[in-house]
């Protein structure tokens, strides 16, 4: 047993000359703890010695180890609960007190590991330690939408994982044991369950909280905090920061190997990808937060946003004001068909989230689109008029020889109006004037391997058969998304000719990683000329390739700036301004 230099110094400075026996050293520190001027140092030494003693016996006597770990937590808790002789409280995030906080955190985690091996953790029944009968009661001080009070879900320790698929691991120093909460479905079905990811996880922090002025309390609270809602906890008469990790649970949620193939699958086999297309929420829907809808681009999937999402959710104000939604669609399909289903999906989500259409938060939506996703985002804010239909037919749609269901499906693709819920749009590396990807060879090559859904092929066949034979060769009917990215495609002509109208705000991000001047600048897929826009609220050029731009720290900073600008403008709308003539000087 080898105490730290700090504890060894305390023992020698308080005239301990006994053997290196944990029981005798602990007894000595207990006597020193009764002296107010030595209380803090004695509490630290006690916590450390009891932790070391527990480690020494845990393999042969886990029940005794549980008691010692709990005692270590209690003495570390007292260190932070009681102010020093100067009246100041110790901050567990402060380097001067960090070793005590780490002793508390390590003791709590080891205790919980032993409890999980030998006992049951539940909100229904208290945990009884076998030797002393002391009770630990699990409670959730502030139930959140992430985990309900009666069924928080199974948990895993953050320390069991290494984060490999995220650039930054966002953590804060404090007290507690960071855990990954695996969401459990509630007893009553959630109306929006179909939009939730199947492996939804949440960050959590477990804290052992002890009552005041009790030398050896028999009832201890095991509190579960949601670090996205609470950054601090109450200890004594002051607040102390929680130890948190909000990145590892996200990385755990993304660890499914199948997700790494989703982008290629959605490109080559959109006929199969249609089974999983739609809107996904990585957190339960919250009516008090503004949605940020993120739409991926060509040959991509929602996974492309996770680096940005991880960095954005690390900001407490963004967590407080926003919720993030992700749209997945088969990127092999023509853009007009994907846009139609996006519109219908958003209408359906609105009906299910807000049947009476009274929630103003849902009318403050921010839509962020990368590459082809930016074209989809733009299309949500404009009216189609006759532009798309006139590209495929010279006759009114009402004269189409088709059953009512097919005619209605075509109506949804080629005729649409703006979505009034979209308040702000961010387009990133979007090919407004087309992409070099769309050339004769790639259109032929991908057209020969992409399997379109039956529904899309049926509508295309109806249009082809409806056209007079002499004009079928000139029919502007895109077969795949690559055709939609041609500068001559009807959907690109529509969005180019119809800037996002006010009062919707539009921010544009252009990626550039090669070229000598504006005439040759490109991100490797989309040229600066194609992505650049004049009629926007802001435009930022970022040094990055086409795919890398969404993961660029500079792009994340720009999106963060835009989100803060958005809530600032919303707050100004809601604050009533008193006219000058009504103001009265005191």
Last-in-domain residue among 201, 230, 250: 250
- Residues in contact with 106: Cβ distance below 8 Å, sequence separation at least 6, in sequence order: 51
> What is the rounded distance in angstroms from the CA atom of residue 531 to the CA atom of residue 34?
71
Question: Which of the listed ranges 21-25, 302-306, 317-321, 477-481 does the model predict with the highest average pLDDT?
Answer: 317-321
Best CA proximity match to 134, nearest among 49, 43, 69, 204: 69
Residue 578 in domain: no
Provide the pLDDT for residue 382.
Answer: 98
Same domain, 162 and 119: yes
Residue 230 · residue 217 · CB < 8 Å = no
- Residues in contact with 149: Cβ distance below 8 Å, sequence separation at least 6, in sequence order: 123, 139, 140, 143
Provide the pLDDT for residue 15.
Answer: 93
Provide the pLDDT for residue 263.
Answer: 45
Residue 581 in domain: no
* Average of per-residue pLDDT values in the chain: 85
Last-in-domain residue among 233, 250, 267: 250
Provide the pLDDT for residue 246.
Answer: 96
Same domain, 318 and 451: yes
Pairing of strands 238-241, 154-157: unpaired
Whichever domain contains 512, its CATH number is: 3.40.50.1820
Give the structural domain span for 222.
Answer: 5-250
Provide the pLDDT for residue 462.
Answer: 61
Q: Which two tokens stand for residue 356?
A: 């009476």
Q: Which two tokens stand for residue 80?
A: 């932070």
Same domain, 372 and 444: yes
Eight-class DSSP state of 527: B
Provide the pLDDT for residue 129.
Answer: 92
pLDDT tens per residue across span 223-256? 999 999 999 999 988 999 999 999 999 988 876 5
Task: Give the chain's domain count.
Answer: 2
Rounded to 5 degrees, φ, ψ at 502 are -70, 150
Provide the pLDDT for residue 289.
Answer: 97
Same domain, 299 and 186: no
Same domain, 270 and 307: yes
Provide the pLDDT for residue 449.
Answer: 38
Last-in-domain residue among 250, 276, 311: 250
Same domain, 398 and 346: yes
Residue 61 pLDDT > 80: yes
Residue 583 in domain: no
Question: Which of the listed ranges 219-223, 235-239, 442-446 does the model predict with the highest average pLDDT?
Answer: 219-223
Residue 585 in domain: no
| Beta bridge partners of residue 232, listed in sequence order | 241
Percent with pLDDT over 70 in the chain: 82
> What is the rounded distance in angstroms from the CA atom of residue 17 to the CA atom of residue 172?
39
> What is the rounded distance in angstroms from the CA atom of residue 417 to the CA atom of residue 554?
34
pLDDT band at 30 (very low <50, low <70, confident <90, very high): very high
Q: Which residue has the tokens 């009512």?
A: 404
Taking CA atoms, 310 is separated from 324, 556, 560, in Å, by 11, 10, 12
Q: Which residue has the tokens 């527990």?
A: 54
> What is the rounded distance in angstroms from the CA atom of residue 430 to the CA atom of residue 508?
9
pLDDT band at 267 (very low <50, low <70, confident <90, very high): very low
Residue 460 in domain: yes
Residue 109 pLDDT > 70: yes
Same domain, 242 and 277: no
Residue 580 in domain: no
Same domain, 278 and 138: no
Residue 434 in domain: yes
Per 3-state DSSP, the chain is made up of helix, strand and coil in percentages (nearest 5) of: 45, 15, 40
Same domain, 192 and 326: no
Same domain, 539 and 431: yes
Same domain, 207 and 310: no
Same domain, 33 and 168: yes
Q: Which two tokens stand for residue 137?
A: 């009661």
Residue 422 in domain: yes
Taking CA atoms, 562 is separated from 218, 329, 361, 506, in Å, by 51, 25, 17, 10
């Amino acid at each position: 047993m080898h105490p730290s230099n700090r504890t060894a110094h305390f023992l020698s400075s308080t005239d301990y000359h006994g053997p290196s026996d944990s029981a005798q050293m602990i007894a000595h520190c207990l006597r020193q703890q009764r002296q107010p001027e030595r209380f803090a140092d004695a509490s630290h030494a006690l916590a450390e010695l009891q932790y070391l003693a527990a480690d020494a016996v845990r393999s042969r006597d886990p029940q005794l180890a549980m008691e010692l770990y709990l005692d270590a937590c209690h003495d570390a808790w007292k260190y932070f609960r009681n102010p020093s002789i100067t009246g100041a409280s110790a901050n567990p995030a402060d380097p001067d007190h960090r070793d005590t906080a780490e002793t508390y955190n390590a003791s709590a985690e080891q205790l919980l590991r032993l409890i999980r091996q030998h006992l049951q953790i539940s909100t229904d029944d208290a945990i009884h330690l076998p030797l002393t009968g002391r009770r630990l009661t699990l409670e959730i001080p502030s139930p959140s939408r992430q985990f309900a009070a009666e069924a928080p879900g199974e948990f895993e320790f953050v320390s069991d994982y290494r984060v490999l698929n995220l650039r930054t691991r966002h953590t804060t120093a404090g007290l507690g044991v960071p855990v990954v909460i695996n969401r459990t479905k509630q007893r009553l079905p959630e109306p929006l369950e179909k939009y939730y990811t199947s492996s939804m996880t949440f960050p959590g922090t477990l804290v052992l909280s002890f009552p005041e002025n009790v030398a050896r309390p028999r009832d201890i609270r095991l509190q579960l905090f949601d670090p996205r809602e609470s950054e601090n906890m109450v200890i004594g008469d002051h607040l102390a920061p929680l130890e948190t990790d909000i990145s590892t649970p996200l990385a755990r949620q993304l660890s499914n190997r199948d997700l790494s193939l989703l982008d290629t699958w959605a490109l080559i086999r959109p006929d199969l990808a249609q089974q999983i297309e739609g809107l996904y929420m990585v957190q339960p829907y919250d009516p008090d937060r503004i949605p940020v809808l993120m739409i991926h681009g060509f040959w991509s999937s929602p996974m492309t946003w996770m680096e940005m999402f991880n960095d954005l959710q690390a900001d407490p104000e963004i967590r407080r004001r926003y919720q993030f939604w992700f749209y997945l669609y088969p990127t092999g399909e023509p853009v007009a068909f994907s846009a139609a289903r996006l519109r219908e999906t958003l209408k359906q989500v609105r009906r299910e989230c807000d049947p009476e259409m009274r929630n103003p938060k849902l009318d403050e939506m921010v839509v962020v689109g990368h590459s082809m996703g930016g074209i989809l985002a733009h299309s949500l804010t404009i009216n189609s008029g006759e532009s798309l239909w006139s590209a495929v037919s010279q006759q009114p749609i009402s004269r189409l020889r088709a059953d009512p269901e097919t005619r209605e499906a075509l109506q949804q693709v080629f005729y649409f109006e703006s979505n009034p819920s979209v308040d702000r749009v961010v387009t990133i590396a979007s090919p407004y004037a087309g992409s070099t990807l769309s050339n004769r060879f790639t259109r032929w090559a991908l057209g020969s391997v992409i399997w379109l859904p039956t529904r899309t092929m049926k509508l295309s066949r109806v249009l082809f058969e409806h056209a007079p034979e002499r004009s079928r060769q000139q029919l502007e009917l895109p077969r795949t998304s690559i055709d939609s990215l041609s500068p001559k495609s009807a959907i690109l002509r529509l969005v180019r000719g119809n800037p996002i109208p006010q009062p919707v705000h539009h921010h544009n991000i252009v990626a550039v990683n090669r070229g000598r001047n504006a005439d040759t600048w490109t991100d490797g897929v989309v040229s600066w000329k194609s992505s650049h826009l004049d009629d926007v609220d802001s435009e930022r050029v970022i040094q990055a390739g086409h795919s890398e731009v969404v993961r660029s720290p500079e792009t994340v900073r720009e999106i963060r700036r835009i989100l803060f600008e958005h809530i600032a403008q919303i707050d100004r709308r809601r604050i009533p301004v008193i006219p000058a003539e009504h103001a009265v000087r005191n």
